[in-house]
Amino acid sequence: MSISDVLHSKGHQVVKVRTTDTVETAVRKLSEQRIGAVVVEDQWMRHAGIFSERDFVNAIAEHGSRTLTFPVEKLMTGHLVTCRPADSVETALAAMTMAKIRHLPVVDAGKLIGIVSIGDLVKHRLDEKALEANVLLDIARLHA
């Protein structure tokens, strides 16, 4: 199974903020959308990084409540690890494990077309395994 299969069932929506938006704005979007990360775009609307719950928690621990007034670019993770729609779920999971991240933007021909979380990928794998088990049970019933 590929990342495009995951996006087909999950959708292609990507919540974004600008580098100049405040952390408070980004955190509100995380809360309102019930998500763990937003993609950060620069003034030219190119992806510049990612801002996650983990970035926020680490900043609060270091700077306290004044963190909410910082621009997102001060706390975002600038190095964006991405995947392609044709990549396998296993490849994406391996990339996330190696980079110690939980969200992976999906880029096709330089264009951001979606984002997957580790939860999305695990759910997809579990659904796949459940389907396989049901097929095997059906085959066993036919032969019984």
Q: How many residues does the chain have?
A: 144
Return the pLDDT at 94.
94
For residue 6, give both structure tokens: 């995951």
Return the pLDDT at 3.
96
Does domain 3-143 sit in CATH 1.20.1260.10? no
For residue 66, give both structure tokens: 């004044």
Return the pLDDT at 19.
97
Return the pLDDT at 136.
72
Which parts of the chain are beta strand (E)? 16-18, 37-41, 47-52, 103-108, 111-117
Q: How far is CA 4 from the centre of its chain?
A: 14
Per the DSSP assignment, residues forming a β-bridge with 51 are 38
Query: Is 9:3 a contact under the CB 8 Å cutoff?
Result: no
Return the pLDDT at 61.
97
Cα distance between residue 4 and residue 93, in whole Å: 14
Q: How far is CA 78 from the centre of its chain?
A: 15
Those residues whose C-beta lies under 8 Å from the C-beta of residue 47, and which sit 6 or more positions away, are: 39, 40, 41, 80, 105, 107, 112
pLDDT in tens, the chain (144 residues): 899 999 998 999 999 999 999 999 999 999 999 999 999 999 998 889 999 999 999 999 999 999 999 999 999 999 899 999 999 999 999 999 999 999 999 999 989 999 999 999 988 888 777 777 677 777 877 877
> What SS3 state is found at 107?
strand
> What SS3 state is found at 120?
helix
- What residue segments make up the domains of the chain, in order of their start? 3-143
Residue 16, phi then psi, degrees to nearest 5: -130, 155
For residue 62, give both structure tokens: 């270091």
Return the pLDDT at 138.
72
